[in-house]
Amino acid sequence: MNRRWAYAALLAVFLALAFPARAADMSKTLRVAIPVAENGFDPQAVYDSYSFEICHAIFDPLYTYDYFARPVRLVPNTANGMPQITDGGRTFTVKVRPGIYFADDPAFKGRKRELTAEDYVYSIKRIFDPKVRSYWLYLFDHRLVGLDEALERAHKADRFDYDSKIEGLQALDRYTLRIRFKAPYYSFQHWLSYDGLAAVAREVVEANKDPSNRVMEYPIGTGPYRLKHWVRGQKIVLEANPGYRNEAYPVPGPGSESGDAGIARDNTGKKLPIVGRVEINIIEEDSPRLLSFDSGALDYLELRRSLAANVLAKDALLPAYAKRGIVLHRQIEPSISFTFFNLDDPVVGGYTPEKIALRRAIALGYDRQAEIDVLRHGQGKLASQLVPPGIPGHDPTLPARNRYDPAAARALLEKFGYKDRDGDGYRETPDGKQLTITKASTPDASDRNENELWKKNMDAIGIRMTFFMQKWPELNKMSEAGQLQMWGLSWISAVPDPEPFSTPLYSKTIGTQNDARFRLPAYDQAYEAALLLPDGPERTALYRRMTELVENYTPWLLGMNAYANVVAQPWLKGYKQSPFLRNQWKYYDVAAH
């Protein structure tokens, strides 16, 4: 540790001793908004980033990321030290820190309930329960020692036995967790920071579970906040957990950035969380969210889609916002947008040359750069590969393919028999049937603008396109069930690893993440080989191969790597943008204003 950081650390200790930490200030409320309705608060069952934002405030995974270090650095959360990785990357042993307790709940019958290694065993087992239908099963399926047999027993009995031991998932003692895989799985250490692996208490689940063994409406965790009030699809209120462990605001160390010392200086010695209440409003339309921020009703705002044009001039605040003391936080986020084709669909699906040609032609006929420049107001970069910039495995030398080329799209359609036989300006299928492509869409204004661009581009190459409108949660369920022909999504990772961006095209995740229902042995082989390797040139080459296969078969049309723009009110203190942790509410303070 260099002298500068050693001094800072000693200063923090001195201040913490001299000025004892106080509990969260219940007179302070942090006000935020999310653009889609939550689907619940069960960390093993939720599947969208906004529901996870709320879960992150209530539940605790074993690890997290240093609040200040960039590049990010994995650090203990409820763990007592870093994971011991042995057996060539197959075995992970973690010590749980003693003295951490769940928020009070009647299920505990009046006693304080300590967090133990067995809680993590139980919580991870919930991912395996077929009734829970967890997205995160793929992290363990066919990998964890003994899991295949446990799932087979559950299938035969039509229930998952939580008391049956799984060799690869054990609590060796009250505070020691051991996880064993069949093959090396180096990237798993990052997943130990993910909220999907956060701890829940078995007593609470069994007292409050629904027929799917989920507790979407009853979250009790060890995190800094607990659920106080909830009006479904409208408003969520969290309040500070009075039993939260003694955790002080962190001190910037090696890897911190300019400005971090100032952020820490405002908060050094403060007990976390700082703010007593968090009020989350669901505001689906962009304009009302911006109006709420402009009026001071929101403390910070994520500038999604068209909102950026109202606040930014490319990469800087408009003068009106700068004069008010508004602060812009901006970075390329670890995400990729894409439009998927349902490979099981009779029109756009399949692996025959004419079906691949149809998907390639649609990809060539859509102007992604215009979407970025006009609809996204320049707030992104054209994606060239599955792995975004800033993630190990990204190859900066790889050019973007399937670029906008309507002439090539028309030629490809003609070559493979998609012709306009009746002269109405739209093509028919090779067997003479009407060709209609139906793209799913939410009804919000930004999606409607995107639909207009799609319609214009598809008209130009002779493809009739219609749109199926529904709200996001319903579309997500239909997509998971394979009921949509085509839909645009984006995928953002909570860990600094390429696996999350390649998994949604792995055949064994159909029904959970693989909405394209893509089945290609060559892709699966490259994916599985990459999992066995630590970061390095050999693994990067495998991810490059996966990108080539995606471009050749076109289950996805790659979109963009987006900028994450967040504007904060001048009274919001302690805010630090993170590429992997979207909400760090426990670190924020709201000054008088």
Reading phi first (left if > 0) and then psi (alpha if -120 to 50, else beta), residue 146 is in: left
- Whether the CB-CB separation of 259 and 217 falls below 8 Å is answered with no
Q: Name every residue whose Cβ is closer than 8 Å to that of residue 541 and which is 6 or more positions away in sequence.
A: none
Kindly list the structural domains of the chain, giving each domain's residue range(s) and its CATH number in brackets, ordered by start.
3-274+572-590 (3.40.190.10), 335-562 (3.10.105.10)
> Residue 390: its pLDDT value, please?
84
- Between 3-18 and 260-267, two packed helices, what is the crossing angle to 10 degrees? 20
Q: What is the pLDDT of residue 304?
A: 80
Is the C-alpha dihedral spanning 550, 537, 509, 54 positive or negative? Answer: negative
Could you tell me if 243 and 24 are in contact, meaning their C-beta atoms sit under 8 angstroms apart? no
The amino acid that residue 91 corresponds to is: T
Cα torsion through 384, 387, 390, 391, rounded to 10: -160
Distances (CA, A) of 142 to 13, 112, 242: 46, 37, 41
Those residues whose C-beta lies under 8 Å from the C-beta of residue 495, and which sit 6 or more positions away, are 187, 190, 191, 193, 194, 580
For residue 481, what is the DSSP state?
T
**Residue-wise over 188-200: b if at least 16 C-beta within 10 A, else e?**
bbbbbbbbbbbbb
Q: CB of 248 within 8 A of CB of 19?
A: no
Percent of the chain as helix, strand, coil, to the nearest 5: 35, 20, 45
Per DSSP, helices labelled H in 463-536 are 472-480, 499-502, 521-531
Closest CA to 404 of 433, 375, 362: 362
* Listed residue (144, 134, 205) closest to 178, CA to CA: 144
CB–CB of 558/383 below 8 Å? yes
- Asked whether the beta carbons of 211 and 25 are under 8 A apart, the reply is no
DSSP letter for each residue of 340-377: EE-TTSTTT--SSHHHHHHHHHHHHHS-HHHIIIIIST
Average pLDDT along the chain, 593 residues, taken 10 residues at a time: 42 43 86 93 90 95 95 95 96 99 97 98 98 92 96 95 98 99 94 96 96 92 98 96 96 86 87 98 94 98 86 93 97 95 98 98 98 91 94 88 93 98 97 98 92 99 98 93 97 89 95 95 97 91 97 97 96 92 90 92
Structure tokens at 324: 């008010």
Burial class of residue 432, CB neighbours in 10 A (0-12, 13-18, 19+): exposed
Nearest to 386 by CA among 303, 267, 500, 292: 500
Please tell me the pTM assigned to this model.
0.80
